Structure 1
Amino acid sequence: MKPPEEIKLEVKERFSNLSGTYDQIMFLKQITLRLVELTHLKSGDAVLDVATGTGAAAIAAAQIVGEKGKVVGVDLSPAMLAHARRKVNEARLQNVEVYEGDAEHLDFPDSFFDHVICSLGLFFMPDMIAALREWQRVLKPGGSIGFSSFGAGLFEPLIGLWINRLKQHGLMPASLPVKRLETPADCQAVLRGSGFSKIEVQFEQLGYFIPTVGERWNDIVTGLEGEPLKQLTPELRNQIEKEHMEELMAFMTPEGLFVSIPALFSWGWKSG
């Protein structure tokens, strides 16, 4: 297993490379906004958004907590944070700040936030329990930690089709740690292991239709799925594109290609 600091550097680099196209990935925003909605924030709350990325959750939370509230976003990637700051400025929000920082070592006092949220970020962290314990430290008694993760069957059957296409060309799919939190039992275990006793996990089947196979290809090349293509010649990349778009046509419906997004939303409440 790689050292934790090496993993963090890889995550930082991976998302810095994605920062320019990150907001084009529809399902990320869909899950993120749903987490904010389900966490039941209220006016005046102080909220920490860990792995804030380009700021979607932080901005949505800031609009709920209002002028009397405060939202702080933390992320490893300066490139992602640059987009977050731009969006905060465009929205003219005065109650949001974003900082570069490590989720396992937060620069905030004990019992500082009413809620801590983390959308699709916890499973990237080398030591999830250490991260959750640190978030619990900065959480006020009675406050909640909420995070989202992907359930089993993410993107099926489309992801299976893509992986098979890569393997036919001797390519390995991008290694993603999403399976670390793909069941309710997984989510409950990390919350219990970090000291929470009051726990809730909610499953929702989300998804959407992509109108054309070309848009599915764009999602691949702008997201983590497309990482194996970066090492290829333009000729081979074009060949794989042609082959994959042809096989995708078998999955087209009148509404388009369905992207299945099984999502888990988990919360733990700090006692007191």
Structure 2
Amino acid sequence: MSQAPSPSEQKQRVQETFNRMAAGYDALRFVQVCARRLLELAELREGMKVLDVATGTGLVAGVAAQIVGPSGSVIGMDLSSQMLVQARRKFGEVSNLEFRQGDAERLEFPDASFDAVLCASSLFFIPDMLAVVRECRRVLKNGGRVGFSSFGSGFLQPLNDLWAVRLERYGIARGPLPTVRLIDPHACRDLLSQAGFEAIEVYSEQCGYYLPDVEARWAEMMAGLEGQSLAQLTPGEREKLKAEHLEELRPLVTPDGIWVDVSANFAFGRKPGAA
């Protein structure tokens, strides 16, 4: 039996995976819609100082910088150097926005540095989630607010199950996705409570959408984690698998297109103390 990877090995794998996905990451529509919704619920205001943990290509940080305006500031932090390359390419000219490489479990910022800390669709990838949320509390000012998003039980279903079965037929076993760690709204609430937050709110929403056809679904898969498994196959095997999977997706196409379920949780808490 193979030994489970250590936390440092897990982080290394996450870093390598997101470095590979960086160039096409913005093609993942479910990441974009959850980033937008997190921002809508975050109650950011002009003049705030905001930290975006696991910023990726800056989907949250770029909009947050617009909201807080020139009197505020935003720092986007990520473990992946290639994600930050894409973020700087898009937002490098924004004067109140800075991107840094760093480890979310050990934030390199002084205590009480930020009015708000956000983390979109990423917390479940980090080995010690509680350490991250405690670090978010540390760097928040009294009364500051943390917010993160995760995915719910229906996320990408039945699409994900179809894909897992197809991969198994090619000898590729997929374990549980990291998203299951925060699939339950109660787990989101408990995580914030354990980290010492109060006024905790968790919103469970459906952020799904239709893609026009099976080819659009395939393109989105190849941009994200689902497509990473195909590196194990030969080009011929990949083409055969693609043809088979597209064929089994066709019965799911409706007059509106193919439904992508994006069940999502949005969790918020406040650091105790007067602002």
Give the TM-score range, shorter chain: over 0.9
TM-score by length of structure 1 reads 0.97
Structure 2: 5+ residue runs without aligned partners? none
Counterpart mapping for 1:9-158 below 5 A: 9-89=12-92, 92-158=93-159
* 1:31-68 Cα shifts (integer Å, max 9, x gaps): 01110111010000000000001001000100100000
C-alpha distance in 2 between matches for 1:175 and 1:235: 27
Find the residue that maps to 1:195 and give its secondary structure.
coil
C-alpha distance in 1 between matches for 2:221 and 2:42: 30
C-alpha distance in 1 between matches for 2:227 and 2:175: 8
2:185 partner amino acid: P
* 1:119-162 Cα shifts (integer Å, max 9, x gaps): 01111111111111111100000011100000001111111111
Give the count of matched residue pairs. 270
* 1:208-262 Cα shifts (integer Å, max 9, x gaps): 1111111111112221001221110111111111111111111111111000000
1:251 equivalent in alignment to 2:252: yes
Look up the match of 1:205.
Answer: 206
Find the residue that maps to 1:21 and give its secondary structure.
helix
Find the residue that maps to 2:50 and give its secondary structure.
strand
How much is the aligned-residue C-alpha RMSD, in angstroms? 1.1
Comparing 113-122 with 151-160, greater Cα deviation is found at: 151-160
C-alpha distance in 2 between matches for 1:233 and 1:254: 35
What is the CA distance between 1:197 and its match in structure 2? 2.8
1:72 partner amino acid: I
1:267 equivalent in alignment to 2:268: yes
What is the CA distance between 1:168 and its match in structure 2? 2.0
Structure 1: 5+ residue runs without aligned partners? none
C-alpha distance in 2 between matches for 1:82 and 1:220: 22
C-alpha distance in 1 between matches for 2:123 and 2:224: 18
